[in-house]
Amino acid sequence: MRSSSVQPIAVLRENDLRRSSPPADENEGFTKVGEWMHDFIRTLYPLCRSITGDGVRRTLELIDERIALDVHEVPSGTRVFDWTVPKEWNIKDAYIKDSSGKRVVDFKRNNLHVVSYSVPVRRWISFAELKEHLFTLPEHPDWIPYRTSYYRESWGFCLSHRQFMALRDDEEYEVCIDSSLEDGHLTYGEHRLAGESDDEVLVSCHICHPSLCNDNLSGIAVAVALAERLRLLKRRYSYRFIFIPGTIGAIAWLAQNVERVHRIKHGLVLTCVGDGGPITYKRSRRGNAEIDRAFAHVLAHAQASSNIVDFTPYGYDERQYCSPGFNLPVGCLMRTPHGRFAEYHTSADDLDFVLPEALADTLTTCLFAFDVIENNRVYVNLNPKCEPQLGRRGLYRAVGGQSERAMEELAILWVLNLADGTHTLLDMAERSGLPFAVLKRAAKLLTEHELLGPLY
């Protein structure tokens, strides 16, 4: 069992933000959706994914069984901005056999054993030569590292340091990588939920890692669950979920959608969202985009601890979305950032490393933040001179002189005071310190009493 610092659902229940939350956040629903996501990760775990190939296709098929996907195939050799779509890589088997014919390293036991994009090889080889093709983690002797060589043709094996130490330096070994690297396609999938407007929210996750759970599968699982939840809700925005190989996939997608990206008003990269650490939100390059402020608000109000970090031009596909020629308002949601947990890019990033409650907490956080974005309107006070008489409308305590005042009443006063056509509800939340959901309810109530109207 791994320990977790995910906050108990009980805490969330008491938090006012919950009141605006969709069905997923009922206590039972929270547990169920967490387990559902973890089960989906378990289903995807054995597949050998890379940036191209049948592992990606099979992953997209399994997603498509849950949410309908448009699958796109981009031919090898296609120019995408400064890059070229590489050859397609597939692999059937790979091993290192000792002189007795025993597989001492076996791809079929763990697909991390082969360096991704290894070219085919099959021959007998001395230990001295073999050693040049082996990668281990001496500081974690039981873990297998994860290595790739997409853009330089080579081959290699990753193995635990314990396996490596058991090899004999006076022995010859048979190495076999039964792979193919040929013209083919890069494959990605899209799922779109139409909303009232053509303005879009982009949710992007990478699908190019083999048996790694936090780094790629957790993002896929949360994205699929998000799509399922959002489908049930009234949507102002349209939502586009893209499941793409990292870097080259994002670049290919942007190259094919360059005329359409102006529709993206908010965006989010999901990665490493299943471990037990607190949530980390990385701001977009703009630094103060609405999505940045929405997550900052939600994390401050709904999480006991969380981190907000500034944009940096390294990390995941926010690098591409936030390149200066696009500069899209796309942030990145993580729990523990890549490289900050020892299990990163090793076989220890496995099914035990991702937790159902962490996945559910990430999902809930996204839903809260999207709820902010969906409802972040500008309002106008229809009775802007002095306060309206709330008492006769039942919106205010009847007996004066009491010192205690409920948050609901404060929210009504704040909304009336700031509804001058220049403040969004999120502006009001930031200035008042009240949760967005409480202000949203106050705005709804005031609108029903014809004291408030949305400007846009």
Interface residues toward its own copies, by CB under 8 A: 80-83, 145-152, 247, 250-251, 254-255, 258, 285, 312-314, 319-320, 322-327, 338-339, 344-345, 381, 383-389, 391-392, 398-401, 403, 405, 410, 413-414, 416-420, 432
CB closer to its own copies, 180 vs 323: 323
Distance CA 164, CA 361 (A): 39
CB closer to its own copies, 222 vs 332: 332
Contacts of 194 (CB under 8 A, 6+ apart): 235, 238
Closest by Cα among 207, 216, 222, 245 to 350: 216
Whether the CB-CB separation of 13 and 27 falls below 8 Å is answered with: yes
CB closer to its own copies, 36 vs 379: 379
* Residue written as token pair 């994009």: 117
Whether the CB-CB separation of 363 and 226 falls below 8 Å is answered with: yes
DSSP bridge partners of 103? 97
Least distance (Å) between residue 416 CB and its own copies: 7
Least distance (Å) between residue 223 CB and its own copies: 21
DSSP state of 262: G
38 annotated to a ligand binding site: no
CB closer to its own copies, 366 vs 451: 451
Joined tokens for residue 227: 């799509």
Distance CA 188, CA 191 (A): 11
Distance CA 38, CA 19 (A): 26
Please state at what angle helix 290-302 crosses helix 425-432, rounded to 10 degrees: 40
**Torsion sign across C-alpha atoms 259, 283, 298, 69:** positive
Helix (H) or strand (E) holding 48: none
198 annotated to a ligand binding site: no
Least distance (Å) between residue 149 CB and its own copies: 6
Least distance (Å) between residue 216 CB and its own copies: 13
Least distance (Å) between residue 404 CB and its own copies: 9
Burial class (CB in 10 A: 0-12, 13-18, 19+), 402: exposed
Least distance (Å) between residue 196 CB and its own copies: 28
Q: Which residue spans within 293-373 are E strands per DSSP? A: 306-309, 330-334
361 annotated to a ligand binding site: no
Distance CA 217, CA 223 (A): 10
Least distance (Å) between residue 247 CB and its own copies: 8
DSSP state of 17: G
* Residue written as token pair 């399994």: 62
From the annotation, which residues make up the binding site for Zn(2+)?
A: 209, 215, 345
From the annotation, which residues make up the binding site?
A: 209, 215, 345
